[in-house]
Amino acid sequence: MKRTPSPKQSVARDKKAFFRSIFRVLPLLLVLSPVNPSGCAMGNRTAEIRVKYENILSHDIDELVNMSAEYRDRCCKNKKQENSKVFFCNDTQEVGSLQTMACNMLRFFHKQKLGRELRRKAALVSCGTLQVLQCRCERLRKEKVCVQVNTYHREDTETGEQSKKKCNQEFCELKENISSLRSCWNKFEKIISR
Amino acid sequence: MAVPGTFLPPVPILLLLLLCGLGPCLATADGSPGVECVFFNEEYMTCRWGSRETVAANYSLYYWYENRFPVVECKHYLQDQGINVGCHFNRSETIQFLPFRVLLNASLGSRTLEIHSNRMELQDLVKPEAPVNLTIRNVSGNQLQLTWSSPYAKARCLEHSVKYKSNKDTSWTEHRVNGDIFSLPSVDYEKFYTFYVRSKINGYCGSTQLWSEWSVPVVWGNNSTSKGAAEEQLRWFLIHTVLVPIASCLLLLVLVILLVRMERVWVILMPRIPNPIKNFDELFSTHNGNFQEWAGVPKDVVESFKPNYSENICYVSELPPKDSYEPLWEGSNHPPSVTPGSPPAPREHSPYKNSYLGV
């Protein structure tokens, strides 16, 4: 003999079914959604991005590369950090890779072992990358660095000059980041310059 | 940043070290370049590590891309007299914007040397092909416009360099250009211009110093008349600045030589030192040194100088003082100790010892 469910039971059952259906659909939505870096509003701005990169950002990147070349890097060739992150410029995900690299490079701004000007320049390039691509970092507090960088005043470079002679693993990591960021921008520029 | 593609030490030196037993295995080494990789127009790549001077050993090259294993051996080696000196990569074997590493194995007998490379990226090793289809157009206002095209697919990733020279210039002028057009204002229609162009990947798409080869040249201007005028100028230049001075110098030299050779003139310029011996030649040859005879002094004058009296010589001597007193003789004609008939002892300053007395 079949028992008919009470109104309360039927409502509870509907609710469960509702949540089950939501939780099934939601992952599908996440999987099926177009691959777009979270926090980047690129839109159809490739021409604008190219102009900003060529006229402004590429020169800052060159300056940053030249600045890092003044530092000793002997300790970088033999020893490799196990915890160091390696970022690749993935195919069809150049913007996301640039976002990841830029956000990661922001954390070096507070590393006291690095030269002050180098840290500032690296943060400037990171912030410039995020601004050109209109991206945001997952950790919002990282972008506060960009406000600090813009209001930063140049102080004495004595600390910077001393740190140029000392090689440390943080510098090696930063140098890898700079190289990867530059390479990824080259790749992105090549794609949008067709 | 290290020079891309030129990061390995000289392989022959490392092999010599191996032979000397200074280390069979070397990690990543810095120093002078060894293996050079060039990505030609993004169509194929060659990595070379040796030449004819390379030590004869078995070389094998392995490569891989970070995050994309496995390690692959070179499929197409370049050889020189049976020795592997390089590796050829097809386009399908190349991936840009991804860290690329190379391992070179050199084995000699039972010993093997491993040479690891630094990280490099292939977009920094691209050497584009030379530009083609150079075209010159004459625009208004004595202005020339040079355009070209490039076999490289992504022209926007290129920067170019134009060098040009006229037939009146001594050196080339070089200009960097971002696009594929170059303007030369205020040209001279009497001159003859030659243009070359070459390309390189710009800083936006890569980081390389590899320029392409220079293109086939393109020329513009008046070739024939300017050529003749140039020859005419060259001829006048040779005459005025070379031949005339040389001829003048030769003429001067001839005159000097003639001057030196003609003794009459030479004597006036360089008079001889007078030699009086000829005047006195007769004195010694004829008169035998007799000056009075040669001078023609009269005989009576000569005789008058001869003394006509004789005078005995008075010998005066002073004996040294002794213990016993001995009287001195003065002005006496009879010296006490002189033997009669013996000649007197000679005195140094005797006034009577001369030729006039005939003694």
Cα dihedral: B137, B138, B142, B146 (round 10): 0
Contact (CB<8Å) A190/B27: no
pLDDT tens-digit series, residues B189-245? 889 999 999 999 999 999 999 999 999 999 998 876 555 566 777 887 888 888 889
Whole-angstrom Cα distance, residue B181 to residue B160? 9
- pLDDT at position A153 over 60: no
Q: Is the peptide bond before B131 cis (omega within 30 degrees of 0)?
A: no
Please give the average per-residue pLDDT across A16-45, as a whole number. Answer: 58
Q: Is the dihedral of CA B341, B345, B350, B356 positive or negative?
A: positive
- ipTM for the predicted complex comes to 0.72
Q: Which of B28, B96, B205 is closest, CB to CB, to A189?
A: B205
The chain B residue lying nearest A186, using CA atoms, is B205
> Which residue's entry shows tokens 């050829």?
B88
Per the confidence metrics, is the pTM higher than 0.90? no
- pLDDT at position B324 over 70: no
Whole-angstrom Cα distance, residue B23 to residue B2? 25
Whole-angstrom Cα distance, residue B170 to residue B193? 12
> Which residue's entry shows tokens 């006036």?
B268
DSSP conformation class of B155: G
Query: Greater confidence, B235 or A61?
Result: A61
The chain B residue lying nearest A183, using CA atoms, is B97
pLDDT class of A167 with cuts at 50, 70, 90: confident
Residue B164, helix vs strand vs coil: strand
Percent of chain B whose predicted confidence (pLDDT) is above 90: 40
Those residues with Cβ within 8 angstroms of residue B192's Cβ, 6 or more apart along the chain or in another chain: B166, B167, B219, B220, B221, B222, B223, B226, B227
Which of A189, A191, A194 to mutate: most B Cβ within 10 Å? Answer: A189
Q: Which of A69, A86, A187 is closest, CB to CB, to B97?
A: A187
> Which residue's entry shows tokens 């094998």?
B60
Whole-angstrom Cα distance, residue A128 to residue A113? 23
Is the minimum CB–CB distance between A84 and chain B shorter than 8 Å? no
Q: Which of A77, A186, A194 is closest, CB to CB, to B206?
A: A186
Whole-angstrom Cα distance, residue A166 to residue A75? 9
Say which amino acid occupies B311. Answer: E
Residues of B with Cβ-Cβ distance to A179 under 8 angstroms: 1
Is the minimum CB–CB distance between A53 and chain B shorter than 8 Å? yes
pLDDT on residue B347: 46
User: Which B residues in the span 186-225 are in contact with A, Cβ-Cβ below 8 Å?
Assistant: 203-207
Whole-number Cα distances in Å, B1 to A77, A192, B207: 12, 26, 10
DSSP conformation class of A135: B
Say which amino acid occupies A114. Answer: L
pLDDT on residue A103: 92
The chain B residue lying nearest A175, using CA atoms, is B1
Is the minimum CB–CB distance between A69 and chain B shorter than 8 Å? yes
Whole-angstrom Cα distance, residue B3 to residue B17? 25
Residues of B with Cβ-Cβ distance to A101 under 8 angstroms: none
- pLDDT at position B164 over 50: yes
Say which amino acid occupies A100. Answer: T
Residues of A with Cβ-Cβ distance to B4 under 8 angstroms: none
- pLDDT at position B331 over 60: no
Instruction: Indicate the helix (H) or strand (E) that contains B276.
Output: none
Is the minimum CB–CB distance between A77 and chain B shorter than 8 Å? yes
Q: Which of A54, A69, A194 is closest, CB to CB, to B204?
A: A54
Map B99-150 to HEC letters: CEEEEEEEEECCEEEEEECCCECHHHHEECCCCEEEEEEEECCCEEEEEEEC
Which of B42, B96, B118, B204 to mutate: most A Cβ within 10 Å? Answer: B204
Is the minimum CB–CB distance between A169 and chain B shorter than 8 Å? no
The chain B residue lying nearest A184, using CA atoms, is B97
Q: What are phi and psi of B209, to 5 degrees?
A: -115, 15
Q: Which of B27, B98, B154 is closest, CB to CB, to A190?
A: B154
Q: Is the dihedral of CA B205, B207, B213, B214 positive or negative?
A: positive
Report yes or no: A148 and A109 within 8 Å, Cβ to Cβ: yes
Token couple for A151: 């209001």
Q: Is the peptide bond before B70 cis (omega within 30 degrees of 0)?
A: yes
pLDDT on residue B206: 93
Instruction: Indicate the helix (H) or strand (E) that contains A158.
Output: helix A158-164
Token couple for B138: 């004459």
Report yes or no: A103 and A138 within 8 Å, Cβ to Cβ: yes
Whole-angstrom Cα distance, residue A121 to residue B258? 84
Give the pairing type, strands B192-201 and B218-221: antiparallel
Chain A nearest CA to B47, separation (Å): 21
Q: What are phi and psi of B70, to 5 degrees?
A: -95, 180
Helices then strands, each counted (H, E), chain B? 7, 16
Is the minimum CB–CB distance between B128 and chain A shorter than 8 Å? no
DSSP conformation class of A57: I
Q: What are phi and psi of A119, to 5 degrees?
A: -60, -45
Is the minimum CB–CB distance between B123 and chain A shorter than 8 Å? yes
Q: What are phi and psi of B352, to 5 degrees?
A: -95, 0
Whole-angstrom Cα distance, residue B316 to residue B327? 13
Report yes or no: A96 and A37 within 8 Å, Cβ to Cβ: yes
Lowest-confidence range among A127-131, B250-254, B260-264? B260-264
Residue B6, helix vs strand vs coil: strand
Which of A49, A59, A186, A188 to mutate: most B Cβ within 10 Å? Answer: A186
Lowest-confidence range among A94-98, A150-154, B61-65, B261-265? A150-154
Angle at B130 between CA B125 and CA B134, to 5 degrees: 150
Q: Where are the beta strands (DSSP E) in chain B?
A: 36-40, 44-48, 58-65, 68-73, 77-80, 83-89, 100-108, 111-116, 126-127, 132-139, 143-149, 158-166, 173-177, 181-184, 192-201, 218-221
pLDDT tens-digit series, residues B102-129? 999 999 888 888 888 888 899 999 999 9
Chain A nearest CA to B224, separation (Å): 45
Contact (CB<8Å) A58/B1: no
Burial class of residue A98, CB neighbours in 10 A (0-12, 13-18, 19+): buried
Give the pairing type, strands B126-127 and B36-40: parallel
pLDDT on residue A140: 61
Residues of B with Cβ-Cβ distance to A190 under 8 angstroms: 123, 154, 157, 205
